[in-house]
Amino acid sequence: MKSDTAVPGKELPKTDPRVKLIAAKLKKENYQPDALIEILHTAQNAYGHLPKEVLTYITKALRLPPSRVYSTVTFYHFFSLKSKGEHTCLVCTGTACYVKGAQQILQAIEKETGIAPGKVSADNKLGVQVARCIGACGLAPAVVIDEEVQAKASPEEIIQKLNAKIGKI
């Protein structure tokens, strides 16, 4: 089979369900280099980020130069080479949220947890990210903690929720 010759499969265990997911997507897209971004989406959804060996696997399967894959991954904000943390706190900094105090929330989080925007705590428990705009401008400022949207958020509320997540309370 084409996929077997293209992918030696040394780096990644084939039995890993996440690898199977990517392999299925590769096959569905017919190993077309044009589908690179679609495949990266699948991989990132499966792993939470894009580990190096996964990128190598995709690179070989699509027969692309590693530089092309790496440059694409680093171009788009959505893709991350590093783990985003067990729990994520995403602060929207779109215009409406900015006008309504998203900066104060970010400052409060950094003051309380020591995690700057875009960083992950040393124990990998909590990652703090900023979003361009999550499109919930009517509810500004908005913060997403582990997929759950906190509408009209206050710094105190967010700190409390985060402490509960990382088991400080």
Tell me which residues touch another protein (CB under 8 A). Answer: 32-38, 40-41, 68, 71-72, 75-79, 93-96, 98-100, 131-140, 142, 149, 151
Question: Which of 39, 162 has the CB closer to another protein?
Answer: 39
Q: Hey, which bits of 65-125 come out as E strands?
A: 87-92
Question: Which of 54, 140 has the CB closer to another protein?
Answer: 140
Least distance between another protein and beta carbon 69 (Å): 10
At position 29, the amino acid (one-letter code) is E
The H or E element spanning position 150 is strand 148-150
Closest CA to 142 of 87, 86, 94, 78: 94
Least distance between another protein and beta carbon 93 (Å): 7
Question: Which of 27, 168 has the CB closer to another protein?
Answer: 27
Which residues pair with residue 88 across a beta bridge?
127
